[in-house]
Amino acid sequence: MSDDAGKSSTLHVHRFAQVGKGDRLRLDPASTRNVFVVSAEDQSDLIRLTPAFEQSGEICVGSQRIAYRIAEVASASDLQSLQYLEQFHYKTAILSDEGTDEAPTATASVGGRKAILLLQFKVGISWHAAAYVDIQMPLLMVKPRHELFANAFRHPDRPVRWEQWDQHAMRENVNLIARIARVVVSPEYRGLGLARTMLEAAKTFCKTRWHIAGRRPLFLEIMAEMLHYIDFVSTSGFVRVGNTEGNVARVSRDLLSMKKGYGISSGIMSLQKKYLTQLQDFCKTTNRDFEEVVARLEEVLQTEDPSSHLSPEEWLAFRKVIRFPIPYYLCPLDDYAEQYLREHAPASPKLRRNRFKINSQAIAVTGIRVTSDLQISQSKPVRLIMDCFGLSADRIQQRIIGPLDVKASAGNIIFISGSSGSGKSLLLRALDHEGSYRSNHLKFQRSVSRTYSAGWLKCLPSEVCIFEYFAEKYSVSRSLSALSQVGLSEATAFIRPFDMLSKGQQYRAMLADLLLRDDEVWLLDEFCADLDPLTARVVAHNFRRHVMAAGRIAIVAAANHGHYLDALRPSKIIALRAGDAPRLVTYREYQDEFLAQAG
Ligand SMILES: Nc1ncnc2c1ncn2[C@@H]1O[C@H](COP(=O)(O)OP(=O)(O)OP(=O)(O)O)[C@@H](O)[C@H]1O
């Protein structure tokens, strides 16, 4: 950089620093740490460049608070963390000539400005990378934005105005939009709502640090296929503006025209060339005629659900050249931008909320007794045990549970604790008054105030991958939402059959299935037993929210629970002890009496 007298000096900044050629800098005479870019619109507006952006906060899961920091990627170790997280990315901007070319990696150079904010959790004395958001320059041509900006924009405080969104207005102002190119969350930390935390951080960053040639942005945009199914952005102030255009209407025409060596009417030429090469490669490997393949492409694109008409090879080839419309959202970054969106954004049909059948009725199961009756077969080893332990009768009748009354109203969790063999599983069985469980040696007694349907975790079929099972049984959006609530959002898990999942993944998949079913009472044994402590906490936390929202009654049993019980926060606890009467206590009493002892 050089000063007004032309004297030059060097300022070292990190790779993604928000500064470019021609930017005017202001140094703080009191501290060389403080460097600003002078706004091109208002000399008194200083946009901070250094120190780099950093924000901290806490995420609460039950009573546990996990500290995090979000900072610009600035060091070599940040870059390493980023590379680690890249493998888990959801693509948020699809291949598009309304968009970029195939989404490059976050660390790759894309040309133009970009900023990457990395979220790290404090674990002990070290920091664990958990999520990042990648902010880039906007796309040039986006149909819904184009239509929205056809409305005159007259900023009251900034020299930003256009009467119509023509070439001139676009050239002048398109960089007043920043784009969220990606939000990535590590699978270990899914279910904590980190996508929202990252969107909020991106907004703050854009309001305070982002600029192009000294001009601050007015909007933040995001477009993503996933937004068809889960709206993870509107709670952060993003407004749906419409769907991108995609290329369905013109892809075959463009391909044929390119093949003949002609240009195309719209879109990015290099991208179209790539499509052409990809389809030509497909024709070569399958020995098919190009025109015939394009005709086939055209034919399936006329149908309502094109992908269902394609063979696997065709699907793999065609998906590289077809871009379906995807939802496009804008987030205002100042008051006028907000007012403008409020006035002009088309009223778009809201995504249907994931409605669950909501229950409101209580249950009362009284006089619960479970007794076992065992005729002892007197083999030599059994006689040995009888001698050693002083057993004399040839028949053992034992009260395992009860008498006990269980009453619960909708939206509550009852937790059954007790050591191994204390009767947790049998109590759950007893609460399933219509259940099919039978044993010749057990007698169940209870009376119920009314009948209710009880739901258990059930293994899922292994003939299809789990997402196929979910999407066919429920809707895509309900399935995605339930799977994300149980912290299962890895694409690689979704596309495997149930028997190819880990125990913990199987558990979460079964739990998602239970959340989506309509049973009034959920009976869960060995709750979260196969999960690591953090995932168990996250699952317990989200499970509780779901029970309350859907008015379910959940009766949950586990021997090991100290690491997540505060996140589950049951309303009552039934503490079982072999050979003793069960105790019914509140969560607070249980904490004082039982957990304190255990701790
Ligand atoms: N089918 C059965 N017939 C007779 N007795 C049984 C039967 N099933 C379980 N029991 C006995 O009932 C008692 C309670 O068993 P239960 O499976 O409910 O214990 P639990 O608390 O769930 O134990 P864990 O934590 O080890 O799973 C045990 O002593 C067990 O031996």
Q: Which of 419, 422, 438, 576 to mutate to test the pocket of ligand 1 (most atoms within 8 A of CB)?
A: 422
442 lines ligand 1 (CB under 6 A): yes
What is the pLDDT of the chain when averaged over all its residues? 88
Instruction: Report whether 431 contacts 521 (CB < 8 A).
Output: yes
Sequence ranges of the chain with CATH classification 3.40.630.30: 58-245+326-344
Distance 420 CA to ligand 1 centre (A): 8
CA of 544 to the centre of ligand 1 (A): 27
Q: Is 400 in the pocket of ligand 1 (CB under 6 A)?
A: yes
Residue of 279, 311, 319 lying closest to 91 (CA atoms):
319
Q: Taking residues 362-379, what's their average pLDDT?
A: 88
| Cβ neighbours of residue 49 closer than 8 Å, sequence gap 6 or more | 13, 17, 18, 19, 25, 35, 36, 37, 209
For the ranges 147-161, 218-232, 354-368, the lowest mean pLDDT is seen at: 354-368
CA distance 476 to 460: 17
Q: Write out pLDDT tens, residues 42-87.
A: 999 999 999 999 999 999 888 889 999 999 998 999 999 998 898 8
pTM summary value:
0.84
Residue of 66, 356, 351, 326 lying closest to 193 (CA atoms): 66
CATH 3.30.365.10 assigned to domain 58-245+326-344? The reply is no
Residue the block writes with tokens 């900044």:
13
Token output for 11: 């300022």
Distance 422 CA to ligand 1 centre (A): 7
Which helix (H) or strand (E) element contains residue 179?
Answer: strand 177-185
- Measured in Å, residue 427 CA sits from the centre of ligand 1 at 9
- Give per-residue pLDDT as tens, 522-580: 999 999 998 998 889 999 999 999 999 999 999 999 999 989 999 999 999 999 998 88
- According to DSSP, the residues that pair with 445 across neighbouring strands are 369
Lowest mean pLDDT, pick from 112-126, 382-396, 418-432, 451-465: 382-396
Torsion, Cα 419 423 429 430, to 10 degrees, reads -140
pLDDT at 100 over 60: no
Q: Which of 110-124, 168-182, 583-597 has the lowest mean pLDDT?
A: 583-597
**How large is the C-alpha radius of gyration of the chain?**
30
Check: CB of residue 259 under 8 Å from CB of residue 363: no
The beta-strand segments (E) located in 171-326 are: 177-185, 219-223, 239-243
- Given pLDDT bands bounded at 50, 70 and 90, which one contains residue 136? very high
Residues 484-522: tens digit of each pLDDT: 889 888 888 899 999 999 999 999 999 999 999 999 999
Q: Pick the residue whose CA is nearest to atom 25 on ligand 1.
A: 420
